[in-house]
Structure 1
Amino acid sequence: MASASVKEFGKAWWSEVYNRIIGAVVFLDDASAECLHWDGGLFNLLTGGAVAVKSLSPFVECGEEKKAVFITQSTWTQVQTICDIIRRNQFSAVILISSASLDAVYLELCTDRDASDKVAAGRGIAEGTKLLEDILRDSFKGRLCSIEVVHVPIFTIALTNVVFVTPPYKDIYPKFNGKMILETNQFDLHSLQTDERNDARRLASGLNNMLDSMNLKEDIYYIGAYSTILAGVLENSPVCIARRKNCLHPASLIIVDRTLDVCGVTSHATESVLDKIMAVLPRFPGHSNEVAVDMSPLCEANNAYHKGPDDDSALSPGCLFHATDDSCIQTYDYMINKSQKEVMFDLYNKLSKIDVQKSPSPKTLLKVTPQSVEKIITASKGNYQIIGNHLGVLQQACAVVQTLKSPKRAQQELLMSLEKQFQQNLAASRDSTTVLQQMSHLIKTRKDRSLALESLLALLIHLYSLKGKDIKFPSQHEEALREILSVAIFEDHKILFKGEKAEIVTPEECDEMSKKVMDKLKDIANMRNTMVNYNIVLKPCETGVGHEYKGLLQQLVEDLVDTERPEMYDLRHKNESLVLKTKDLIRSGFNMLTQKKSRTAKHPLDNPTIIIFVVGGVTAEECKRLHRSVITSGVDNTVLIGSTKLVTPVEAMRDLLSLEVA
């Protein structure tokens, strides 16, 4: 099943799912449901023959229904839930569609000591299928049943033709038992904890499935400790080795650790409308890349979405992406790749065609404001024929208006201004900078400025990653900041922490947490220490006035598409040792600086297709800039940009700091 793009890869495998659901109750986990949303949503299942669609819960009862289809990641917890559902119902036919590769599932579920040997011998998929069939059969307790276990690699969503994310792997982050810097010198699977190891195998097998479906035979490149491990799995797995023998089209796969440069994902300086929306609106329930849009401006019902699901008058949220509406797909692309002004004109132009009040023509407007868009939305309120015919664009328009009119936007603008001010301060004063003193004052006075502590923590991460190893903060400034952080964490602990433990946090715990935060900030500053090309991300502006942030990814892509083909010393290749020592890496880096360019060295641009995959999240702004660099370079190669998820500054902060009460 060959496919030319990530979008086609997803559609091809969803068609395999639709062939199996006729007459069945379909159960989905959150990640599969999110992938379904981007393929067309719930109606694809219902019009395809499913009799009902339910979430994966052990307490579901399905009456007299005899056939069930489960679409899950096949984790141990999910398999146990499936067994509970089977026991509570009268199914006679069950199909388990595992989104994760069955050899990876087998290694997780099997207690057999010989499991690794069986996988190495190429028997992992068959053994995984048999193991899951046996577990499910036990749940029927002797009843006659038909059981099918099949692997269908549903794990990608295509945001645009060149950008994709992987919802099942949204929680994977380049850490090692919670730490950002690997303490051992060996970079292999045994460097990871059991859960981390399972996640790495699952992600690698997913990427392998995608490459297989796209008929790509890849050269693997990587930057970062976690990416080194991932590259090792892809290079040495028996399934991957067998696949590369059969695939025809050469490609370059570049895997990058997010932790090497977290400035981009903690920055509020974005032109992307999608980033602005993601930072302001709540997530759609169960989703990592979709937002919940308040639909009350269109409906006569009162909005009670935030009151809870038991409220009869609750109004379901809207969303941004509408897979069956080409006009909405175009607008979504604009939200990533165009300016706010262009997005506003695009929305106004589409809305003006359905406006019952006949607002001014787009051609007569010099500027489209949130108010002018909102006016058309309000005119459509309660007119359910118009709403039904134009539901997608109305939801997108509501999202943009709610974002731009939100009080949070003023906070975002203030944070963006502070960010720019701190950048110039760092560049100009370097080691004598007073940035941390200013940050301490900001944290103290945050409530006067309506700034959330979690946003200021994201700004702190941005600063430490920006400065790298070249700029030193005075130790007394860092200690003063730590003390202020301790107090602030205690004051805002109910907002920062989730769950029951958040109610009983002590000052001592907050003090300990502030120490851990400072330690992680110092780790963040040192992440690029061993790099040759990309150790500095605060660069002089091309205009010659001031400094600007130029991210590691941006520098990498600019070097990648440069026709002069500069040496990229930090980009490792699979032909080099996958088990590297830090000292060797530093030494080889300096040696390479003194060597002449090798004419025989492989280059990612040698292959027509290049996939850059960032482990740990990207922003829409980064995707736009990377894509623009490729387009303006004039290279003929197809460059795809993938990541585990879209991320906001606050989400990036939480991924890095892992804020939790012990």
Structure 2
Amino acid sequence: MSVSVKEFGKAWWSEVYNRIIGAAVYLDDASAECLHWDGGLFNLLSGGAVAVKSLSPFEFSTKDHKKAVFITQTTATQLRTICDIIRNSDFTHCILISCVSLDVVFLEINEGKDVSDVIAAGKVQAECTKQLEGMLQDWIGKKQCAVEAVHIPICTISPTNVVFLTPAHHKVYPMYDGKLIHDSASVDLYMLTSEERSQVRRLASCLNSMMDSMNLKEDIFYMGTYSSLVAGVLENSPVCIARRKNCSNPTSLIIIDRTLDLCGVTSHSMESVLDKVMAVLPRFPGHSNEVAIDMSPLCEANVINHPEDVQLSPGCLYHANDDACIQTFDHMINKSQKEVMFDLYNKLSKIDVQKSPSPKTLLKVTPQSVEKIVTASKGNYDVISKHLGVLQQALAVVQTLKSPKRAQIELVSSLEKQVSQNLAASRDSTSVLHQISHLIKSRKDRNLSLESLLALLVHIYSLSGTEVSFSKQHEDSLTETLSVAIFEDHKALWLNEDGKIVTPEQCDEMSKCVMSRLKDIAQMRRILNKYQSVLKPCETGVGHEYKGLLQQLVDDLVDTERPETPDLRHRNEGIKDLLRSGLNILTSKKSRSTKHPFDNPNVILFVIGGVTAEECKRLHRSVITSGVDNTVLIGSTKLVTPVEAMRDALAL
């Protein structure tokens, strides 16, 4: 592959750095997250920015700041915010950096207007630039001012050389007006709400920008209704068609709906250390793929309630300017917990002020032995400043492994295994929902959260699919149990965020809504032929195990026998099939003549709706061990935990 996704991001950030000298820089959350993975705040400050602020209507600049750079997704709300900031400041030079392609922004600004002439003439980007620059001039309100609107695709981050994520699209999920299954059998872009249509176009724009910068000319494959919409925009949008004419590296882009298989992301059986850390620690404020680490063990400050206590900034896991930390982060995805602990202990032992035992003499590295070295550096700010990255990573792992949440996760994991064996052994659902109802009722005694049990329910319904049907009586009983539990726990749940009083009737409605959504989740794979089941007999011959849809697909794609993958649709297939039947040459060899994703040297597998680190590791391992020569990248909208995946799927 000509360019890695990491290099794609770096190349475009350097374009940003060229424009920020002497400027007050305003970033939205998604751009700030992308900046973090490129090196962080100091990249802007050392590059010449005079101030860095969040894109908020409450922010403005002092009279001596005359230049502003806005790095933004250019939504209608963000444009209003930029207007407020400019009117409350005294700028004479404003640069608007749109992370989203201007052809998408143009359609949104002119929603409801007839712009077909501009599109037909190919003048969309020029017209959008003119409109945005006109807005900036109006807001500055001075005759002597300089304005610029430019598209710079700051939209991806790369935790490893193989995995990439799109922070700006972390809320994109295969849903249609809050439903998992669209009312219509065939869905087209104009059947979506304007906000949903916008999300599809913006995600397609991000993928298009990435492929443009990497000189990739793609064949598009997809699985799932939502993925077909993104594939359609990539196939038919004038910007994408023009790009394919100029790009030369043949690539297969495979887009898949997360909702076809929610088992992997709602499973509490986590082997990857990164998944464990993300499930236990709170999110870094404003970020979708980073955690907030309590730094009080290193500092003299008395922190009462992390992360709400603002006197101490939280730490984080990824440190783009520290090669040792980048290596450890990679290990957190790809190596075992034992290997990660030894790696951290090795790196910490080089800075150890207490001279702990050498890693060679230790049989086992425990959280306590790592913590001992870290806390020995407390208050020694000279040591801390030199080794801040590894100390933050060590604290993250220690806090995760010592957290009471770990016991909860392990308990749900063991329940998960019991349930899947019950379902697989008898294909009989009678006892499963009864078990779950009992667990929900006794959750306080077992120290289980309702959210974890809801994630377990999503896991069960996705796992059983259409192979197992649950009795109405048990489902009704579960609905009743859920209603009571939601009422009891509503203060700790998502329901009470705006402080409203929640009534038993509302909880009743909510539990019915949850059950209806669970039934939809069980139906998601009914449109598939080969990959309907994700419960497979173990290779040992004893019992059954979960084998994810993504895993099954990748195993088939790297298989030298090239088995058929009828569920993976090729974007051009419909027209080609019509031509074939018209010419009457439908033969048994047809399947061999259809395009195979691994015919191209580069393959991008993109999952809409989130992946786990464990999935990325396993898929990458399948590619490596198969011996294929193809370069395979794994992308998604975000890294996700079981509870987050549950909230997305149940729209809570």
TM bracket, shorter-chain basis: over 0.9
Does the 8 Å contact 2:2/2:214 carry over to 1? yes
Distance 1:611 1:482 in 2: 41
Counterpart in the other structure of 1:125: 125
Counterpart in the other structure of 1:271: 271
Distance 1:249 1:486 in 2: 54
Distance 2:115 2:323 in 1: 47
Partner of residue 527 from structure 2, selected from 530, 534, 551: 530
Distance 2:117 2:463 in 1: 45
Counterpart in the other structure of 1:29: 28
Alignment of 1:390-405 (within 5 A): 390-405=387-402
Name the CA shift for 1:386/1:501 in 2 (closer, same or farther; >3 Å).
closer
Distance 1:120 1:11 in 2: 34
Distance 2:238 2:137 in 1: 29
Counterpart in the other structure of 1:39: 38
Name the CA shift for 1:500/1:413 in 2 (closer, same or farther; >3 Å).
closer
Corresponding letter in the other structure for 1:402: Q
Distance 2:255 2:121 in 1: 27
Structure 1 residues 324-383: Cα deviation after superposition (integer angstroms, max 9, x where no partner) = 000000000000000000000000000011101111111111110000000101111111
Counterpart in the other structure of 2:231: 231
Alignment of 1:208-223 (within 5 A): 208-223=208-223
Tell me by how many angstroms 1:596 deviates.
5.2
Does the 8 Å contact 1:120/1:237 carry over to 2? no
Corresponding letter in the other structure for 2:284: F
Tell me by how many angstroms 1:301 deviates.
1.2
Tell me by how many angstroms 1:110 deviates.
1.3
Name the CA shift for 1:105/1:412 in 2 (closer, same or farther; >3 Å).
same
RMSD: 1.9
**Are 1:658 and 2:644 matched, yes or no?**
no
**Are 1:337 and 2:330 matched, yes or no?**
no
- SS of residue paired to 2:443: coil
Percent of counterpart pairs with the same letter? 73
Corresponding letter in the other structure for 1:644: T
Tell me by how many angstroms 1:112 deviates.
5.9
Corresponding letter in the other structure for 1:301: A
Does the 8 Å contact 1:3/1:215 carry over to 2? yes
Corresponding letter in the other structure for 1:272: S
Does the 8 Å contact 1:232/1:578 carry over to 2? no
**Are 1:419 and 2:416 matched, yes or no?**
yes
Distance 2:496 2:59 in 1: 25
Partner of residue 594 from structure 2, selected from 588, 601, 615: 601
Distance 1:347 1:503 in 2: 46
Distance 1:568 1:157 in 2: 30
Distance 2:225 2:392 in 1: 42
Counterpart in the other structure of 1:316: 313
Counterpart in the other structure of 2:70: 70
Tell me by how many angstroms 1:303 deviates.
1.9
Does the 8 Å contact 2:92/2:142 carry over to 1? no
Name the CA shift for 1:610/1:433 in 2 (closer, same or farther; >3 Å).
same
Partner of residue 475 from structure 1, selected from 467, 472, 476: 472
Counterpart in the other structure of 2:368: 371
Corresponding letter in the other structure for 2:29: D
- SS of residue paired to 1:504: coil
Distance 2:315 2:265 in 1: 26
Runs of 4+ in structure 1 deviating by more than 4 angstroms, as ranges, are 498-502, 594-597
Distance 2:102 2:3 in 1: 25
- SS of residue paired to 1:529: helix
Tell me by how many angstroms 1:129 deviates.
1.0
Distance 2:345 2:119 in 1: 56
Structure 1 residues 53-110: Cα deviation after superposition (integer angstroms, max 9, x where no partner) = 0001223232121000000000001011101111111100000000011110111111
Does the 8 Å contact 1:68/1:95 carry over to 2? yes
**Are 1:51 and 2:47 matched, yes or no?**
no
Does the 8 Å contact 2:611/2:636 carry over to 1? yes
Counterpart in the other structure of 1:140: 140
Alignment of 1:82-93 (within 5 A): 82-93=82-93
Does the 8 Å contact 2:307/2:314 carry over to 1? no
Farther off after superposition, 364-373 or 131-140? 131-140
Distance 1:245 1:126 in 2: 20
Distance 1:413 1:26 in 2: 44
Partner of residue 520 from structure 1, selected from 517, 520, 538: 517
- SS of residue paired to 2:461: helix
- SS of residue paired to 1:599: helix
Distance 2:575 2:224 in 1: 11
- SS of residue paired to 1:614: strand
Distance 1:449 1:122 in 2: 63
Farther off after superposition, 142-151 or 408-417? 142-151
Farther off after superposition, 540-549 or 141-150? 141-150
Distance 2:5 2:500 in 1: 45
Counterpart in the other structure of 1:184: 184
Name the CA shift for 1:519/1:502 in 2 (closer, same or farther; >3 Å).
farther
- Structure 2: runs of 5+ lacking an equivalent: 582-586
Tell me by how many angstroms 1:579 deviates.
14
Partner of residue 644 from structure 1, selected from 632, 637, 640: 637
TM-score by length of 1: 0.95
Does the 8 Å contact 1:304/1:315 carry over to 2? no
Distance 1:259 1:506 in 2: 31
Corresponding letter in the other structure for 1:113: K
Alignment of 1:457-496 (within 5 A): 457-496=454-493
Counterpart in the other structure of 1:195: 195
Distance 2:485 2:496 in 1: 19
Corresponding letter in the other structure for 1:380: S
Counterpart in the other structure of 2:584: none
Does the 8 Å contact 1:121/1:238 carry over to 2? no
Corresponding letter in the other structure for 2:644: E
Name the CA shift for 1:190/1:363 in 2 (closer, same or farther; >3 Å).
same
Tell me by how many angstroms 1:113 deviates.
2.2
Distance 1:541 1:78 in 2: 51
Distance 2:120 2:512 in 1: 44
Distance 1:105 1:39 in 2: 25
Name the CA shift for 1:214/1:152 in 2 (closer, same or farther; >3 Å).
same
Distance 2:262 2:116 in 1: 35
TM-score by length of 2: 0.97
**Are 1:510 and 2:503 matched, yes or no?**
no
Corresponding letter in the other structure for 1:318: G
Counterpart in the other structure of 2:568: 571
Does the 8 Å contact 1:260/1:528 carry over to 2? yes
Partner of residue 557 from structure 2, selected from 543, 560, 569: 560
Name the CA shift for 1:520/1:579 in 2 (closer, same or farther; >3 Å).
farther
Tell me by how many angstroms 1:115 deviates.
2.3
Counterpart in the other structure of 2:442: 445
Structure 1 residues 102-135: Cα deviation after superposition (integer angstroms, max 9, x where no partner) = 1101111114622255235422211211111111
- SS of residue paired to 2:426: helix
Alignment of 1:86-165 (within 5 A): 86-111=86-111, 113-165=113-165
Counterpart in the other structure of 1:591: none
Distance 2:43 2:299 in 1: 25
Does the 8 Å contact 1:13/1:154 carry over to 2? yes
Counterpart in the other structure of 2:11: 12
- SS of residue paired to 2:154: coil
Distance 1:228 1:439 in 2: 35
How many residues were matched structurally?
Answer: 645
Distance 2:551 2:626 in 1: 13
Name the CA shift for 1:372/1:559 in 2 (closer, same or farther; >3 Å).
same
**Are 1:615 and 2:605 matched, yes or no?**
no
Structure 1 residues 571-626: Cα deviation after superposition (integer angstroms, max 9, x where no partner) = 0001123999xxx9xxx9xxxxx955633111000000000000000000000000
Tell me by how many angstroms 1:419 deviates.
0.5
Name the CA shift for 1:145/1:82 in 2 (closer, same or farther; >3 Å).
same
- SS of residue paired to 1:184: coil
Name the CA shift for 1:540/1:117 in 2 (closer, same or farther; >3 Å).
farther
Corresponding letter in the other structure for 1:28: L
Does the 8 Å contact 1:221/1:254 carry over to 2? yes
Corresponding letter in the other structure for 1:566: P
Name the CA shift for 1:578/1:525 in 2 (closer, same or farther; >3 Å).
farther
Does the 8 Å contact 2:455/2:642 carry over to 1? yes
